[in-house]
Structure 1
Amino acid sequence: MLRSMFQEQLDEVAGRIQVLGTAVLKQLDAAIDGLSTKNRAAVQQIIDNDADINKSELDINEKVFDIIARQQPVATDLRRLIVVMKMAGDLERVADFAVDIAKVSRRIDVFPNEELKQELIELALDAKGMIEKALHAYATKNVLTAQQLAKADDEIDERFGKLIKKLFRQETTDQDVEAITQLAFIARYIERIADYATNLSEWILYEANGQYVDLN
């Protein structure tokens, strides 16, 4: 009976990662939409929602600490709890990047190049897709999917580098220079989101086999 109750606690706190992940994905969706449509109200909502994301991470950590203090888990169970905390922290950081994208997008009055704007949005959607896949891999304990995200991250890195070069090769006015600089910041935030998706994969692998593998 005691083991059954403990397992329920482990499952409950692990389930909170999916709840947090869903909230973070909504933040990313809103940030990408704000970049595309210049919806300032949506952008402000992203900033306002960040406090809830931060609180969710803290609540998860407090729950993990409580379980450790009361149950004193070892081996696999302790590793599982550590992974919950690490993934919560990484997801919270991804939400921070969504806020950063939202804040920077408010400073861009006119996009200097619509083609590059679309390329940036596609990059953001693919980085968000990596977070979705990492969360699914965690829920289904799919180690293969987690490993494959490292290749996706390499592709994002390559596209990021090419996009930056394209941005700064544009013929620009003074107004364009400011917009291009802000777009470069956004591209960097997107690249970092993909990095954090890879971090999530690393924690999935760590939970599965007890060894930390650097996929970045």
Structure 2
Amino acid sequence: MLRSSFHQHLENVKDQISHLGKEVLTQFDQAIHAFEHSDLDVIKKVISYDEQINKYELEINNEVFQLIARQQPVATDLRSLIVAMKIAGDLERVGDLTVDMAKVSKRIDAESYLEKKHELLTMALDARKMLEESLVSFQTKNLIVAQKMAAFDDKVDAQFGQFIKGLFQNETSEHGAEQLTQLAFIARYIERIADYATNVAEWVIYESNGEHFDLN
């Protein structure tokens, strides 16, 4: 009875993480939209919703702490709880980065540097796909999908490096340099989101076999 109850609570925790993942994906979608369209209403929405994302993570952590205290799990059960906390933390940090994206989007001239913005939007959609796929790997325990994150992360890293390398080549004005600096911030936030998506995949692999593989 106790073990059955534990596994039911563990499934509830995993459902909470799936819900948090969906909310964070929505935040990222809105941050991408806000950046592309300089949509102040969406920017405000992303910033204000961060408190709810933090609350979801706290609820997951509290549930895990209670399960550890009451059930004293060992071996694979304890590993699953540790993974739950780690993934919740990584998702919360993605939420923070979407807020950073939204805040910086307010300072970017919507009509300037359209080509650079297009590069960033392509990079953002790739990172978004990574996050979505890593959540699928968690929900389905699909290690093949999780392992693919290494190649995806390399792609985003290459995009980031190429973007930064070409960013300041032709700009001389003070205003232009400031705008490009803001675009560099956006690029860094997207690259970090891809890293956290990779982290989620690493935790999926760790939960399955107890070994930590560095996919970054």
TM-score by length of 2: 0.97
Is 1:24 matched up with 2:24?
Answer: yes
Instruction: State the 1:110 CA deviation.
Output: 4.1
RMSD over aligned Cα atoms? 1.0
Partner of 2:165: 165
Distance 2:181 2:171 in 1: 13
Instruction: State the 1:111 CA deviation.
Output: 4.8
Partner of 1:138: 138
**Residue 166 of structure 2 aligns to which amino acid in structure 1?**
K
Unaligned runs of 5+ in 1: none
**Aligned residues of 1:64 and 1:85 also touching (Cα < 8 A):** yes
Aligned residues: 216
**Aligned residues of 2:17 and 2:84 also touching (Cα < 8 A):** yes
Distance 1:45 1:199 in 2: 27
Distance 1:111 1:188 in 2: 21
Partner of 2:65: 65
Distance 1:25 1:157 in 2: 20
Distance 2:120 2:60 in 1: 33
**Aligned residues of 1:112 and 1:180 also touching (Cα < 8 A):** no
**Aligned residues of 2:37 and 2:110 also touching (Cα < 8 A):** no
Distance 1:71 1:150 in 2: 35
Partner of 1:108: 108
**Aligned residues of 1:112 and 1:176 also touching (Cα < 8 A):** no
**Residue 46 of structure 2 aligns to which amino acid in structure 1?**
I
* Deviation by residue 1:10-48 (Cα, 9 ceiling, x = unmatched): 101111110000010011001000000110011011010
Partner of 1:148: 148
Distance 2:43 2:15 in 1: 28
1:1-216 to 2 correspondences below 5 Å: 1-216=1-216
SS in 2 for 1:73: coil
**Aligned residues of 2:202 and 2:213 also touching (Cα < 8 A):** yes
SS in 2 for 1:199: helix
SS in 1 for 2:148: helix
**Residue 30 of structure 2 aligns to which amino acid in structure 1?**
A
Distance 2:138 2:170 in 1: 41
**Aligned residues of 1:110 and 1:179 also touching (Cα < 8 A):** no
**Aligned residues of 1:111 and 1:179 also touching (Cα < 8 A):** no
**Residue 103 of structure 2 aligns to which amino acid in structure 1?**
K
**Residue 190 of structure 1 aligns to which amino acid in structure 2?**
I
Distance 1:91 1:28 in 2: 11
Instruction: State the 1:3 CA deviation.
Output: 2.1
Unaligned runs of 5+ in 2: none
* Deviation by residue 1:158-183 (Cα, 9 ceiling, x = unmatched): 11110112211133432211110000
Distance 1:172 1:26 in 2: 37
Instruction: State the 1:104 CA deviation.
Output: 0.5
**Residue 44 of structure 1 aligns to which amino acid in structure 2?**
K
Distance 1:41 1:113 in 2: 22
* Deviation by residue 1:51-99 (Cα, 9 ceiling, x = unmatched): 0000110110000000111111000000000000000000000000000
